[in-house]
Amino acid sequence: MKKIRLIFLFVSPLLVAACASTPSASSITAQTNESQLASNSFKPEAGMAGLYIYEEGSLIRADNSHRVSLDGQALGMVSSSSFVYSVLTPGQHTISCETSQVTITAQAGQNYFVRQKTKLDPSGQILSTTLSIVSSSVAIPMIKELQTEE
């Protein structure tokens, strides 16, 4: 038991540092002012596509952050009541988290919406996380609500 505590003491700071180096979901991934405006207006930059990854609020547990990746590169952390926006080049892209992935073929001028859903056990422990592509009619009202909470 003493060894486990000792290992935990050495490993914990490394895990915290790894999480700290990943952008948070509350800071929208936007390289330019134009892409920031695009995320708020749901109009992608000219010649590009928009990607929104979001998770609806949860009353059970609010600290269920998950790292999401785009084409194998860390994109940010998505947690309850948050979203990440990214500009995409046209073509095939893979969005993934720890236990799920989806693939889209982006077309210029289009937005793509991915909902992250976390399944919890009765005590609030995370069982799994799934990603699914959803329609704009489902996603946009939720993302607008999340934008007003920031």
Each domain of the chain, given as residue ranges in start order, spans 23-149
In the chain, pLDDT over 90 holds for what percent of residues?
Answer: 34
Q: CB of 57 within 8 A of CB of 81?
A: yes
Cα separation, 60 vs 30, in Å, equals: 30
What average pLDDT score do residues 59-85 get?
A: 79
The whole model's pTM is what? Answer: 0.70
Report whether pLDDT(33) > 80: no
How far apart CA 114 and CA 50 sit, in angstroms, is: 11
Give the distance between the most distant pair of CA atoms in the chain.
Answer: 58
pLDDT, residue 41, reads: 80
| Overall CATH class of domain 23-149 | mainly beta
Q: Is the pLDDT of residue 13 over 50?
A: no
Average pLDDT of the chain? 74
Question: What's the CA gap between 51 and 95, in Å, rounded?
Answer: 10
